[in-house]
């Protein structure tokens, strides 16, 4: 619709409407993605290493760490600086404000051991507390009318329960952990149903030769004698391929995903 946002049927109702646009701009990750942080640039496709369309907190942490270490070596560009490329002034401001994207808490929970504890902070947490107090005051007459014997809230499908958890009043992973186990399980089932690819294993590429050593998750670049060479730069060749330049004046062409993995594990 606008800026690449809302082009997909995010709520699976068979139609692409303004509701999909508003969901896409509030669920983090950038256009066409969701995420544990807000994004608005072009780097989400690089950060989302397992291609599940959700940029997890672990993927953001990895990308941020790589961007910082790459900056120290003067490596920038689409891959080397993917984390900073994934941000714009609006998304960066939202992250500094301390807000969490819609649905990020339950998606991190659905990742199981690969998920991270996330929570609102700063001004966002303060605003939640203020709004929560106002909500409690407004709901007091309703609670008094319903009394202790009021019927429980209606139970919907797992997908409906998942979406119902996406409240601006949720402050973080602890909110999810405090829910009854049956509801937590239902929300996780609904979350995985809404995104069947969530948390899928990363497709590992075929190993390629790096200075005569086959690596796909190299800890360093080295030739057959064991001499290490720094990566000093790369060039995007298009078609998912990059040309990598080493400190010994050698270079090679490899799949971009191999370069990402090599730089993530580079020491």
Q: Is 83 exposed, middle or buried (0-12, 13-18, 19+ CB in 10 A)?
A: buried
* 125-173 residue pLDDT tens: 998 887 766 656 665 665 555 555 444 555 689 999 999 999 888 999 9
* 225-255 residue pLDDT tens: 444 557 777 777 666 677 787 777 777 777 7
Entry pTM: 0.72
Q: How many CB atoms lie within 10 A of CB 70?
A: 23
Give me the helices (H) in 154-196, please.
Answer: 158-164, 173-177, 181-194
Q: Show the tokens assigned to 209.
A: 């030769």
Please list, in sequence order, all residues whose beta carbon lies within 8 angstroms of the beta carbon of residue 155, skipping any fewer than 6 positions away: 161
* Local structure of 255: helix, strand or coil: strand
Q: Which stretches of the chain drop beneath a pLDDT of 70?
A: 1, 11-12, 132-155, 202-229, 237-240, 263-267
Q: What is the pLDDT of residue 49?
A: 82
Which of 128, 140, 190, 139 has its CA nearest to residue 162?
190
**Spans of all domains in the chain:** 1-201, 208-264
Q: What is the pLDDT of residue 146?
A: 55
In the sheet with 231-238, reading across from the earlier edge strand, the strands are 231-238, 241-246, 251-255
């Amino acid at each position: 619709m606008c800026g690449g946002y809302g082009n997909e049927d995010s709520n699976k109702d068979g139609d692409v409407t303004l509701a999909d646009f508003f969901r896409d701009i509030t669920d983090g990750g950038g256009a066409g993605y969701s995420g544990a942080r807000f994004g608005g640039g072009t780097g989400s496709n690089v950060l989302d290493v397992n291609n599940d369309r959700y940029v997890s907190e672990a993927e953001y942490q990895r990308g941020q760490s790589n961007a910082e270490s790459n900056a120290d070596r003067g490596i920038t560009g689409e891959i080397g600086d993917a984390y900073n490329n994934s941000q714009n002034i609006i998304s960066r401001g939202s992250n500094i404000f301390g807000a969490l994207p819609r649905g990020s808490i339950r998606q991190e929970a659905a990742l199981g051991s690969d998920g991270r504890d996330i929570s609102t902070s700063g001004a966002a947490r303060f605003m939640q507390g203020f709004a929560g107090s106002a909500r409690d005051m407004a709901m007091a007459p309703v609670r008094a009318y319903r009394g202790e014997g009021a019927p429980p809230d209606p139970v919907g499908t797992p997908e409906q329960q998942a979406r119902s958890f996406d409240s601006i009043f949720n402050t973080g992973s602890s909110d999810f952990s405090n829910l009854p186990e049956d509801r937590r399980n239902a929300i996780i089932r609904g979350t995985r149903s809404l995104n069947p690819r969530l948390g899928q294993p990363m497709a590992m590429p075929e190993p390629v030769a790096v200075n005569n050593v086959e690596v796909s998750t190299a800890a360093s670049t080295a030739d057959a004698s064991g001499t290490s060479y720094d990566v000093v730069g790369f060039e995007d060749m298009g078609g998912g391929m990059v040309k990598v330049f080493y400190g010994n004046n050698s270079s090679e062409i490899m799949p971009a995903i191999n370069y990402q993995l090599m730089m993530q594990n580079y020491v």
